[in-house]
Structure 1
Amino acid sequence: MRDDELLTVPEVMARLKISRSTVYDLIRTGRLTSITIGRARRIPARTLTDYIHHFEEAA
């Protein structure tokens, strides 16, 4: 996964194995950053990597 890659919500769902509503909750609460292009929501891969690393460091 490249750091400059933009992921769709379904891609994030598949990578984290979580529901659509959980992805949107993470975005709403600021734990995942997203951008909107037209009507499409995209999550930078770097944001997802940072989110995962946060939990690895806490363990």
Structure 2
Amino acid sequence: MSEQPLTVPPDMRLFKVEDAMNLLSLGRNTIFELIRSGRLRSVKEGRSRLIPGAAITEYIALLEREAS
């Protein structure tokens, strides 16, 4: 019996800072500044800083609201 791979929706994933940089087309310093300012939520697991997929979606929505 073959098991199907688990598919996790993007908003349920945790992204490394480098992945968030690529998804948002932003630099490392900008990502950490957004985290410090509270505009981009993040979590810590051990020594790693991770960004929830939902936080990326919320940040994009925030940018869209600010643009209108």
Whether the TM-score (by the shorter chain) exceeds 0.5 is yes
Q: How many pairs does the alignment contain?
A: 59
- What is the TM-score normalised by the length of structure 2? 0.79
> Once superposed, what is the RMSD of the aligned Cα atoms?
1.2
Q: Displacement, 1:57?
A: 2.8
Match of 2:52 in 1: 44
Q: C-alpha separation between the residues in 1 aligned to 2:20 and 2:55?
A: 11
SS of 2:10's equivalent?
A: coil
Identity %: 39
- What is the TM-score normalised by the length of structure 1? 0.90
Q: C-alpha separation between the residues in 2 aligned to 1:23 and 1:56?
A: 18
Q: Which has the higher contact order (CA 8 A, sep 6+)?
A: 1
Pairwise mapping of residues 1-59 of structure 1 onto structure 2 (< 5 A)? 2-58=10-66, 59=68
**Bigger Rg, which one:** 2
